[in-house]
Amino acid sequence: MNRSLSSQDFMQSFSTKLENALQNLSLAQYPPDARRQMRLFSSTEVASLLDVSEAYIRQIVQKENSPTPEILGNGRRMYSLEQILEFRMMLAANGRKKWINPRRTEGEACQILAITNFKGGSSKTSTTIHLGHYLALKGYRVLAVDLDPQASLTSLHGALADFDPRKDDTFYAAIRFDNPRPTAEIIHKTHIPGFDVICAGLELTEFETAVALEMRKNGTSFLLRISMALEQICEDYDIILMDSAPSLNFLTLASLTAATGVLIPVPAHMLDVDSTGKFLELAASYMQILNEIGASVSWDFARFLITKYEPNDHPQANMAALMRQVFGENLLLNMVTKSTAIADALTWKQSLYEVQRSRFSSPKTYDRAIESLNAANEEIEKLIWSAWRRE
Ligand SMILES: Nc1ncnc2c1ncn2[C@@H]1O[C@H](COP(=O)(O)OP(=O)(O)O)[C@@H](O)[C@H]1O
Ligand SMILES: [Mg+2]
């Protein structure tokens, strides 16, 4: 039979066209000469981030050598995240608030969290970016590692000035078997102080074939590739977050081996929960193999997190109840609600923490969404503290 549509032409042509169109869109949003900047924060937000009163902030601002706010036309004082960090360190120096500088201390190991599930669309990337930005706002040093060749987390950072996925600059460069690059070389600073990224790109898929070849020579040593790459730089971070691809492949197995904790985001939908069951079954069978060859993996914690939750939807409420029954305390108490504010922010390539409340036509929608994110993130922060054995 003579078919006229060349598969290669089809794929190639639309890959190029789509890439160009998206690049133009991104250039229109973030012109290359306009450096992306983190927004400013109101004194109410600063007080809440530092857990002190606004009056107290005013009091320190009057002191010498204290950061001076930018004063807007309406008289409102606005602070940068760098200034908030300065306040934090000033408060830490006067020693009245324990853990106001939350960075880890001697004996507290860098927390490496894998955010993982089988299914695309279960909010892995959204969970990673919102948790990462929350922690950076709270004063932790965070590194986010994009492990998904589809590179959603990477593209949420817009055009990083010095990043080119075609030039050996993704995480693959640090984990390949042949002449790996030092991990420090592929870390990119973002516009958010305290939040760095390692980017992904299609070349990450090469890990799968490389492992298949490597295994013949060196067995399961591939499992340690991610741990080895992260070990080089974990000194500089308190928390490393790994955003996984929607698959359970060698790369995911290596990330589960490197992890000290695991988060499994699951929407409370039949198909998502069903798929999560299959993910767990497959993961269990791999873990059994690892146990049998003496390469067993243990974590400080693993938790399920209900994402995109719509409380008024009965089937979801029922599914959430079932999940609570099955997962017990391994399901986080707080659920991240489905919100147009979160979806909008993500289409602007931002987390909700990056967007000014006033940008939303319905501030109430923003408030509900940020409250839900904060509650879930705070619960995860507590788990990290438990792993560090903090009070
Ligand atoms: N809480 C939320 N409310 C509304 N939309 C969400 C929420 N979390 C994620 N989304 C949307 O769901 C889609 C999939 O989310 P994403 O984080 O990319 O999932 P994954 O990384 O698991 O594939 C995205 O379009 C995202 O904008
Ligand atoms: Mg994703």
Tell me which ligand sits closest to the C-alpha of residue 245.
Answer: 2
Q: What angle do CA 33, 38, 42 make, to 5 degrees?
A: 140
Residue whose CA lies nearest to ligand 1 atom number 14: 121
Q: How many helices (H) and strands (E) does the chain have?
A: 14, 10
Residues around the ion ligand 2 (C-beta < 5 A): 124-125, 152
In short, whether 220's Cβ falls inside 6 Å of ligand 1 is no
Query: Which of ligand 1's atoms lies nearest the C-alpha of 369?
Result: 1
**DSSP states of 191-245:** SSTTEEEE---GGGGHHHHHHHHHHHHHGGGGGGHHHHHHHTTGGG-SEEEEEPP
Confidence tier at 135 by pLDDT (50, 70, 90):
very high
Which residue has the least CA distance to atom 9 on ligand 1?
Answer: 123
Q: How far apart are CA 208 and CA 277, in angstroms?
A: 24
Residue 338 in contact with ligand 1 by CB distance below 6 A: yes
**HSE-up (13 A, CA, CB side) for residue 59:** 8
Q: Confirm or reject: Cβ of 193 under 6 Å from ligand 1.
A: no
pLDDT tens per residue across span 208-267:
999 999 888 888 889 999 999 999 999 999 999 999 999 999 999 999 999 999 999 999
What is the average pLDDT across 382-387? 97
Shortest CA distance to 301 belongs to which of 344, 264, 270? 264
User: 346: Cβ below 6 Å to ligand 1?
Assistant: yes
Answer whether residue 31 shows pLDDT above 80: no
Binding site membership of 116 for ligand 1 (Cβ less than 6 Å): no
Ligand nearest to the CA of 121: 1
The pLDDT value given to residue 366: 96
CA of 56 to the centre of ligand 2 (A): 41
Q: Given a cut of 60, is residue 116 above it in pLDDT?
A: yes
Q: How far apart are CA 89 and CA 97, in angstroms?
A: 11
CB 193 within 8 A of CB 38: yes
The residues, ordered by sequence, that sit 6+ positions from 162 with a Cβ below 8 Å of its Cβ are 188
Instruction: With beta carbons less than 8 A apart as the criterion, state whether 187 and 233 touch.
Output: yes
Mutate-to-test residue for ligand 1 from 337, 346, 353, highest number of ligand atoms within 8 A of CB: 346
Higher pLDDT, 144 or 296: 144
Please tell me if the CB atom of residue 306 comes closer than 6 angstroms to any atom of ligand 1: no
- Give the Å distance between the CA of 266 and the centre of ligand 2: 13
For the beta carbon of residue 23, count every other beta carbon within 10 angstroms.
Answer: 11
The CA 261 to ligand 2 mean position distance, Å, reads 18
- The three-point CA angle 30-34-38 to 5° equals 80
What amino acid is encoded at 118 in this protein?
Answer: F
Residue corresponding to tokens 């108490």:
333
- Give the ligand with the smallest distance to the CA of 123: 1
Reported confidence tier of residue 34, pLDDT bands at 50, 70, 90: low
Distance CA 278, CA 154 (A): 28
Task: Tell me the CA–centroid distance for residue 86 and ligand 1, in Å.
Answer: 33
Instruction: Delineate the domains of the chain, giving CATH numbers in brackets.
Output: 41-93 (1.10.1660.10), 111-387 (3.40.50.300)
Is the C-beta atom of 154 inside 6 A of ligand 1?
Answer: no
Phi, psi (degrees; rounded to nearest 5) at 33: -85, -20
Residue 127 CA, ligand 1 centroid: distance in Å:
8
Q: Measuring CA to CA, how many Å separate 250 from each of 96, 150, 204, 319?
A: 47, 16, 11, 31
On the question of pLDDT at 74 being above 90, the answer is no
Strand-pair category, 301-307 with 142-146: unpaired
Average pLDDT, whole number, for the chain?
92
Rounded distance between C-alpha atoms, residue 206 and residue 176, angstroms: 9
The length of the chain, given as a count of residues? 391
- This prediction's pTM: 0.93
- Ligand 1 atom closest to Cα of residue 127: 17
pLDDT above 90 (res 75) = no
Q: What pLDDT, on a 0 to 100 scale, did the predictor assign at position 262? A: 96
The whole-angstrom separation of Cα 33 and Cα 97 is: 41
CA atoms in the 13 A half-sphere facing the CB of 190 = 27
Does 310 contact ligand 1 (Cβ within 6 A)? Answer: no
Torsions phi, psi for 334 (to 5 deg): -85, 140
The encoded tokens of residue 173 equal 């460069």
At 304-351, the pLDDT tens digits run: 999 999 999 999 999 999 999 999 999 999 999 999 999 999 998 999
Task: Give me the half-sphere count of Cα atoms (radius 13 Å) on the Cβ side of residue 193.
Answer: 11
